[in-house]
Each structure stands twice: as structure tokens, then as C-alpha cells.
Structure 1
Amino acid sequence: MYFLFAPPETLGDGVLLAWLAFWTVAARLTFTFFIIPWNAIAAEFSDDYVERTSIITYRYMVGWAGGLAFTFFTWSFLFPNTEEYPAGQLNPEYYSTFGLIVCGLCILWALVSAYGTRKEIAYLQQPVNPTPPFSLKRAFDEVILALKSANFRLIFVIFLMFSGLAGVGGVFDIYMNTYFWEFTPDELRWFVLAVFGAIAAFATVPALQRLIDKHTLLQWFLAAYMVLAIMKVCFRFWDVWPENGDPMLLYLLVIHASAMTYLITTCGIMFGSMMADLMDEQELATGRRQEGVFSSAISLSAKATSSLGLVIGGFLLDYVISFPTRAALGSVDDQTLFLLAFNDGVAIPALFFIPIFLMSKMTMTRSRLVEIQLALAERRQLSLAQSKKLSQDAIRNFSRD
């Protein structure tokens, strides 16, 4: 990860592209070895419909706390403004230090998270039948088996689109904040106050989830997220927001970011909790839980489409928006800024309509999960009874011999 932010200065364009491609793939591949089991294990901590949501909520809570603390630290200390770079985030000299710190924190947090779950190993579900050895054919068969689940196919496609759209939007963030809204690092650091939106999500999700099914809640909140994302830029086009440089603009956009954070955090929690429910459904249908397969498929879709989103975002910047390279503050013309804002704030968010529509096709409900878990409990008891009987028969036969 460090090498992504600290390429040698002497590299030409072609070699630089190869450098970035190699280290991007390497970083994502190594992270995959952690994130797949990290996601898969969540489904094994509880069988309860509501408690699963609480577990995912705690995960998000810790993630938000660490992420926002680092964001505040970054904008406050890592990207100071200078005379040459009034917007410190445009100074290339700071990024090698940024990359080193990010790399160290990722390694540390992965180790802490893995070590902290060791005591739960004894309580995790164990396979009743022997697990067959790994092979490429078996891996392929497992993926095909997982994709036979209609609900999982829907979740897979929904997350595929969501990650792709988020990847495109991520390309535009620094350009929007720097050139469209004209925020400095001193102002950007205050967006960490959006953590109050996450806190509100952590506080309200348990109550909401007791009243509303997960996929319905996810659908409603994703729709609200889409509307708020479009309103943010449209309010500038309609002269609703104060002018750039007015302190009130920062206050209002921090409030807006808090609302967006509340919605997207709730969506993320619901998504993680729904994945655990689908694994129960898969076990009933096939006899296999496939936590690892589900997690790896979702992880692959997120990485592949978010990477594709970055490519699409770069294409839009170069060939649709025609954004100038190394542009100074205040030097970008109004037409270019309009195209930047329209793509980031209207065209891309509007495409969230597709995953919102697909979410309405989900069939996993609270009552359906109860039926599934009752059937699984009966099957497990029968399997254990049969295993016990076989063991007793083997002991008796051995005694006779």
C-alpha cells in the first residue's frame, strides 16, 4: 500500500501506470486474505435475527470511530496549507507519509481484530460431515452452488452495482471538495462530525429492525440516500446553499453529510446482517453454509467493480468533463465545474435506482428466517442422533470382536 502513494519520481507515464497497477493488485490481494474470513465469521456469532444486526452494528461502530479519528488527524496534521499549495491536499510531497501511516494502521488493526476473536473459536459452528480437500474444481463447484440461490444472486448484483457507483463517486470527491466547494484541509476536517450520523444509526437500527424487515429498511434508506445525494448538488445549482467561503455553507454541508452517514451506515449494517440470514437459507437448501464462498464472492464484486468504477471515473474526468491536470484553485472554468458536479451529484446517484428496484425482489423475511432455522435445528438434531447411534454401534461391534 505504501508504494501506491510513493512511486519513484523518475518513472515515465507507461511505467508509472504499470507500477500503480501492480501495487494496487498486490494490496487488494493481500487484504483479501483477511477480509474474507473476517466477513464470513460474522454469521457464526449468532443465529438470532436481531442479534446479528447488533453484531454488525458494533463492527461499524468501531470502524467509524477509527476512520473518523484518522480523517481528522489527516486533515489537521498531514496536509498543512503552504504558500505554494493553499490547499494542502494538492501537495504531492505529503502522500508518501500518508501512505506509510495508512499501511501501518491497516496491519495493526488486522492483527488486533484477528487476535481479539480467538476466544470465540470454541463456540463457532463446526461441520457435521468431514470437509473435502481443496481443489480448483471444488472451488468452482462451490461458486456455482452459491449462485443457485436467487436471494444471493440479487444481493451479489446489488452490491456489484453499489460498489461500482461508489468507486466512480470516490474519484470525484477530492475534485468536488477542492474545486467545486473550495474547501481547505482546515475546513474538510470538520466533516468528521458526520460521526453523529453514524452514532444515530447505531442507536436506532435495533429499534427499526424490530419493526421493519431488513431488505425493506435497506431499500427505503438507499432511496433516501440517493435523493439526498442529488439534492446536495442541485441546491447549489438552484442557489439554495450559501456562496462558497460563507461559514454557513460548511455548517449546512456537515449536517447534510451527517444525514447521509446515518443512511449509508444503516444500509451497511442491514446488508451485513442479511448476508448472515442468507447463509442459513443456503444451508437448508444445499446442506452447506458457504460463509467463505458468500464472503469471497461479495468481496470480489466489491473490489472488481470499485476498481472498474475508478477507471470509469478517470475516463469521465478526462474525456467527458475534460478536467485540467494540476489545476490551481480558482482556475477551472464554470462549464467544467458544472459537468463535474452534474456527473458526481446527479448522474451517478440517479443510477442507484437500479439496486433499489432489485431490492424489492428479495424474499428473505423475518418469518421466513424463523421457518428456516427451525428446519435447520431439526436437521442438526437428527444428524447428531444418527452420528451418536453409529458411534454406539461401532463400539458394540468392537466389543464383540
Structure 2
Amino acid sequence: MKEARSPNLPGRTECAAYALPALPLAALALPLYVIVPTFYSDVVGLPLAAVGVVLLAIRVFDAFADPLFGWLADRFSSRLGRRRGFFLLSLPLTAASAFMLFWPPGDAGLGYLGFWGALVSVGYTWTVLPYTAWGAELSDDYKRRSVIAAWRESATLVGTLLAIGLPFAIGLQTHDGVNGLAVVAVLVAVCLPLAGMVAALAVPEPIDRSTRNLRFSESLGFIGRNDAFLRLIVAFLLNGLANAIPATLFLYFVSDRLGSPELRGPFLFLYFLSAIAGVPLATLSARRLGKHRAWCLAMVLACLVFSLAGFLDHGDLYAFGAICIVTGILLGFDLVLPPAIQADVIDNDTAASGAQRSGFYFGAWSLATKLSLAGAVGMVFPLLSMVGFEPGDAANGTSALGALAILYAWLPILPKAVAIGLMWNFPIGEVEQQELRRRIADG
């Protein structure tokens, strides 16, 4: 394995090797949140309400696990390195539990779903936090951090496309024998450990810049005093909420507002496929404009383009396809730039606290992601109920379908606009980040 170092410019081979595990991790994440609930209720035959309760309990537990695993990721030590070592230890649990959850036996019940679902949740959190912290520490260079994030998020998008395409192409009608979700189970179980080993062998362990260890309570205190991080995470949470609202309503909008339920899968695939094209554009824009300004301009354009969806009605499929392409490209900016800015914000903490705590910061980051998803569900479903919208009901009137369009296209503009305001004059750019690195190097 490569010796620990902190390169300013990791090459393409190292970036590609680091990105590999993101593909099976994405193939795990999307089915966990999108396909598993429907599969266990419709195919396995478990009561829908009970499945919902079990998965909700798992997600609440998982949210509390994020900061704990982030803290542990920063305190772990082994001859393999704290990032690579903690990451490698998690892979057997994550791969095996995903296989068991995605390919259940014929007599699987709620206990089976709860047990393996909880282990997948723990394993995924354990794997992702040291993995993202590893990437944040791979380079000290302001611009190169965007490149590293771009490699990882490109692999994430490929894994997402596989997770969308395989289950529906192969079929999910039965869990006797091989089905689409079982193929994803094999993909994750085989590819995640292999990709993790390749990354650990090819990618260096960054030097730990910590000069002291902090107790859990001290870690919280320094986070609370990191104004740049608080500003970033609020903007990230609001932008995540803005993205989660249409994601929650996407299936209903295509089925009921546009009247084309058969195109839900193709439109979703088109959206994520377009995001792959957005990744290099995000990197180029960040290099020329700075990361926070490039992200802000992408959010402004997303608001303008996505607002047009509110005017679409039954049969406006080409227009919606165009919106999917443009907003998908802009999704690439949302995926690449915020975590690259997060790496700079962690420098701010390291310079102040003397402890390099990327794991703890990405634990808070993961928690914000889950809160935005939960907030979207908690907001839009009651509002839809208030206006009398019923999914798949041909009796939905003009007012109900109009309310669906407003919630889908225009409600997300409000939180996104606040996020733009928070990030436009963000206090850490390239010059400020270089000064932070000098302070850290001087100890």
C-alpha cells in the first residue's frame, strides 16, 4: 500500500482508484431508499404501514449514528491508516448486509427487514464517512479538491444509473429466484469489497494534521464556533430540501400532471445521465469563478429553468424532457461543489482546534442530508392532502393538479434562494484557504 502522504495534486490513476467504491455504494443507496419499501410490501407481501414504521425507525437510528461514526472515524488508528483502515473494516458488514436485505428468502418477515435493514444502515454510514473524509484530505489544493470530488461523484452517478436501470430492466415481480434487486445485491456484495481494496492499495493515506484529540463535547463546541461551516451547512440543508421536494413528488408529477406514468423511469434515467455531463462543467466553473460563486450561479439557473415546470400540463413531454436535461446538468454542480467547499471549511476548524476532524464534519453533513429528505416528505405530503390530491386518481381536479405543479416546481425556489444568499459572499475562497493551510502547516 502507498505510504501516508498529503499530495497537492493526486494524479488521474489515484483519483480513479479512489472513485471506484462510490459506484457500488451508489448502487446500494438508491434501492435502499426507493426500491426496498415497495419491494418488501408489494412483492414480499408485508403490510405497507408496518414496512413504513420499520424503515422510519431505522432512519431515525441512522441519523443519530452519523456524528458518532464520524467522531470514531477521526479517532481510529491502525497501521493501514485511520481513513483506509476504518473504511476497510466496514466493507464486510456493508456488503454482506446489503446482499441479505436485497435478496430476502421466501419467508422473510418484518423482523428480517428490521435486522438486515439496520445493519445495512450502520454499515453504509460506517463506510461512507471515512471514505468521504479520505477524499477531503487527499489534497491541500483549493482547485484540486473539486477534481477529486468530481471523480467520486461521476462514479456515484454511474452507480445510480445502474441502480435505476437493472431492477426495472430485469424485473421486480417476484423474489423467488433472480430478480432485478437480487442482481443489485450481487453487484454490491462483489464489487464493493473489490473496489475498496483497489482504492486502499492505490490511493495514499493522508497525513493526519492533528496536534491534539478532542472529546466529543469539545468537537461539538468547535463546530458551533466555525461560522463558515454553519453558513455552509445551512445552505446545503436548504438546497437539499429544495432538491428533495421535487424528488419526492417526481413520480406523481409525471404520472398525474403529465399523464405519462410509463415514462417515469426514462425521465429519471435521463436526469441522472445528464448530471454526468454536469460534473466536468462544475469543475471548470469552479476553477474560473471559485467554488461558492459557481455553485450559486448554478442554483440561480436551476431556479429559472425549474420554474418553467410549473406551467407544464398533460402531454408536455418534450418540454419536461428538456427541463430534466438542464436541471440534471446542474445537479452535477450540487454533487461536486458543496463537498469540495466542505473540505475548505474543515481547514478552518483544523487551524482553530488543532484537530483534523473530517469524519466528524461529514457526519454532520450526512445528518443534514437526511434531515432535508425527511423535511421534504413531512412538508409536501400534508400539503397535498390538504388540497385533495390523491395519487393515481383520475378524479383529481384542476385545483389539485395545479397545487401539485406549484409544490413541485415553485416551492423549491424559496429555500434555494435563501441558500444562494448565504453562499454568494462566502468567506473562504482560494486565497483564504491557502492562508489556512499555511497556519495548519506552521502548527
* TM tier relative to shorter chain: 0.7 to 0.9
Return the alpha-carbon distance in structure 2 between the equivalents of residues 17 and 175 of structure 1: 19
Deviation at 1:258, TM superposition (A): 1.4
Deviation at 1:255, TM superposition (A): 2.4
Return the alpha-carbon distance in structure 2 between the equivalents of residues 251 and 186 of structure 1: 12
Please show how residues 207-246 of structure 1 align to structure 2 within 5 Å: 207-234=284-311, 236=312, 244=315
Residue segments in structure 1 that go unaligned for 5+ positions in a row: 80-90, 133-137, 238-242, 380-401
| Closer, same or farther: CA 17–268 of 1 in aligned 2, 3 Å | closer
Deviation at 1:59, TM superposition (A): 0.9
2:403 to 330, 334, 339: 339
Please show how residues 192-341 of structure 1 align to structure 2 within 5 Å: 192-194=269-271, 197-234=274-311, 236=312, 244=315, 249-318=316-385, 320-324=386-390, 327-328=392-393, 330-341=394-405
| Closer, same or farther: CA 214–113 of 1 in aligned 2, 3 Å | same
Moved more, 21-30 or 173-182: 21-30
Deviation at 1:77, TM superposition (A): 4.4
| Closer, same or farther: CA 304–212 of 1 in aligned 2, 3 Å | same
Return the alpha-carbon distance in structure 2 between the equivalents of residues 305 and 194 of structure 1: 20
Return the alpha-carbon distance in structure 1 between the equivalents of residues 433 and 234 of structure 2: 22
Please show how residues 1-400 of structure 1 align to structure 2 within 5 Å: 1=32, 4=37, 5-7=39-41, 9=45, 11=47, 13=49, 15-25=50-60, 26=118, 28-78=121-171, 100=182, 105-108=187-190, 110-119=192-201, 122-127=204-209, 129=211, 131=213, 138-185=215-262, 188-189=265-266, 191-194=268-271, 197-234=274-311, 236=312, 244=315, 249-318=316-385, 320-324=386-390, 327-328=392-393, 330-379=394-443
Return the alpha-carbon distance in structure 1 between the equivalents of residues 421 and 179 of structure 2: 43
Deviation at 1:68, TM superposition (A): 2.0
Return the alpha-carbon distance in structure 1 between the equivalents of residues 301 and 354 of structure 2: 38
Moved more, 368-377 or 113-122: 113-122
| Closer, same or farther: CA 347–195 of 1 in aligned 2, 3 Å | closer
Q: Which runs of 4+ in 1 moved over 6 A?
A: 91-94
Give the residue type in structure 2 aligned to 1:19: V
3-state SS of paired residue (2:330): helix
Contact 2:212-2:355 at 8 Å conserved across structures: no
Deviation at 1:164, TM superposition (A): 2.9
Deviation at 1:377, TM superposition (A): 2.6
> Which position in structure 1 is the counterpart of 2:83?
none
| Closer, same or farther: CA 165–29 of 1 in aligned 2, 3 Å | farther
3-state SS of paired residue (2:412): helix
Return the alpha-carbon distance in structure 2 between the equivalents of residues 365 and 130 of structure 1: 27
Deviation at 1:39, TM superposition (A): 1.5
Deviation at 1:292, TM superposition (A): 0.9
Q: For the pair shown, which has the larger CA radius of gyration, 1 or 2? A: 1
Give the residue type in structure 1 aligned to 2:347: D
Query: Residue by residue, what CA displacement relative to the aligned partner does 1:132-178 show, whole Å, maximum 9, x if unpaired?
Result: 7xxxxx22221221221110011111122223333333221111111
